Structure 1
Amino acid sequence: MSARVIAHRGAPYRRVGSHIRENTLEAFERALELGVEGIELDVRRTADDVLVVHHDVHVENGPMVREIHSDDLPEWLPTLAEALEVCADTWLNIEVKNLPGDPDYDETFGISLAVAALVRAFDAADRVLVSSFDFNSVQRIREHDPDIPIGWIVWGQANPAQMVHRAAGSVDALHPSEMLIDRPLVEMCRDAGLAVHAWTVNDPDRVLELHRMRVDGIVTDEVAMALNVLYGR
């Protein structure tokens, strides 16, 4: 079984005279047209508590997303509800951006509960996985609604055995940076009942190598390349 190709923030496009931003409805629509099996996107909250799709704390070096009323956001910046509508037939990895130390960090995890509530409102629990670098942010979802799948994103110099031990029984999937992944790690995750989603994989040889290790998903900026490597499209 092939790994799921997951479009990292959709499939943005940058060429002379043409530009599709990442994390926009246009980027998601382009990813769907290319034939991906999943899309990864990032979520933050506005000043009036609307969930929107945006990676950075700030909007184009301006104010924080958390400081802006949803009515005042740029037109290209979508809400999570809009993304759920556009991607109604596609698996989504919804990353909750909520890290200690960030100026918009929510120590009450209200953003996590808001994401869970919206997933339920769209009856989408069977086609999403909510992930975060912050373990506690996804644990809050597990406590509130245990039927919504969750994942923990890890990177840097993480100890493989320690991160698998922490994740086992607490989350459904481990999302290691691709540089951390080798066959022993994948086997440890399998033994612990964890799915494995690798990020961000933009080299064709590495895509094939991870596929042969039997990871569950490959997050990539190079959607067309990954689909060609795995499916010959």
Structure 2
Amino acid sequence: MSTKKNTAASLSFAPNIVVAHRGAWKKNNLPENSIASLKEAVRIGCTGSEFDVHLTADDSLVVNHDAHYAGLTIEKSTYAELSATKLSNGEMLPTVYHYLKEGMQQTKTMMVLEIKPSTISKERGQYLAEKVVTLVKQLRAEPWIMYISFDYDILKKILELQPGAKTAYLNGEKTPEQLAADKIWGVDYHYAVFKKNNSWIADAQKLGVNLNVWTVNNAEDMEWFINNKFDYITTNEPELLFDLIDKKGR
């Protein structure tokens, strides 16, 4: 049996609700979505570390939040053009390949992979989803991955290519019943959506739909979602969330 298979078989994500948004970057002033911020999320014990994926003009998969990097539109630029500008800590702009390879060196923190909708076309978004799933399968990284997206069709494409994959929807307009009907694993909405649609929390829990919320950065909101028994809380302040959890003895 290969080392990869042995590692995957031993995965046991940290038993907490803390997902670092774009890695754990803020406290130590690390670049968002960097390998360094991923390593820090792992170091402090987050159960998950979220990151964002785009496709370049030459079909490279890269990790960056915005559709632009260093003044260039990612989808209209080559990786060589983009990587000419390094991150603030000297890292190269991460490829998804290298990001996943780093994340697979450990077994406590899952990688929450956000596929960004294409700014060019829906078809390009579908192609991006195919490229991502192909790479995940090539690396045998499936056990580490939760997929999230604002594009519902991207999530459906992932489930077509990787049945049973953990997928969660971000946009906020679909009910837990709609997600469950389409075999979407989780609801992952902005905190304001849940406060407006309070009944969706109980509906999701009754249906077995995983509950995640973003991006929760103050103690009062964190307390609210802890008390409502969310499975995950995505935050730019993972250290603060850990402090609150410790105080509550959760």
Matches within 5 A, 1:104-119: 104-108=120-124, 109-119=126-136
**Structure 2: distance between partners of 1:30 and 1:163:** 34
Q: Which of these residues, 92, 96, 103, is aligned with residue 80 of structure 1? A: 96
Residue type at the aligned position of 1:93: V
Aligned equivalent of 2:21: 8
Structure 1 contact 39–93 (Cα < 8 Å) conserved: yes
Aligned equivalent of 1:179: 192
Aligned equivalent of 1:137: 154
Aligned equivalent of 1:123: 140
Residue type at the aligned position of 1:70: Y
Structure 1 contact 40–94 (Cα < 8 Å) conserved: yes
Shift of 1:208: 2.1
Query: Equivalent pairs: percent with the same residue?
Result: 24
- Report SS of the residue matched to 2:224: helix
Q: Which of these residues, 163, 166, 178, is aligned with residue 175 of structure 2? A: 163
Residue type at the aligned position of 2:80: D
Structure 2 contact 175–200 (Cα < 8 Å) conserved: no
Coordinate RMSD, CA, aligned:
2.2
Pair 1:13–1:200, CA change in 2 (3 A): closer
Structure 1 contact 3–218 (Cα < 8 Å) conserved: no
**Structure 2: distance between partners of 1:128 and 1:144:** 14
Pair 1:208–1:14, CA change in 2 (3 A): closer
**Structure 2: distance between partners of 1:229 and 1:14:** 16
Runs of 4+ in 1 over 4 A off after TM superposition: none
Residue type at the aligned position of 1:91: M
**Structure 1: distance between partners of 2:16 and 2:204:** 15
Q: Which of these residues, 62, 67, 82, is aligned with residue 52 of structure 1? A: 62
Residue type at the aligned position of 1:129: M
Aligned equivalent of 2:238: 223
- Report SS of the residue matched to 1:181: helix
Shift of 1:3: 5.0
TM-score (normalised: structure 2)? 0.81
Gaps of 5+ in 1: none
Aligned length: 221
Shift of 1:163: 2.3
Gaps of 5+ in 2: 1-14, 87-91
Pair 1:228–1:14, CA change in 2 (3 A): closer
Structure 1 contact 44–54 (Cα < 8 Å) conserved: yes
Aligned equivalent of 1:33: 43
- Report SS of the residue matched to 2:69: coil
Aligned equivalent of 2:6: none
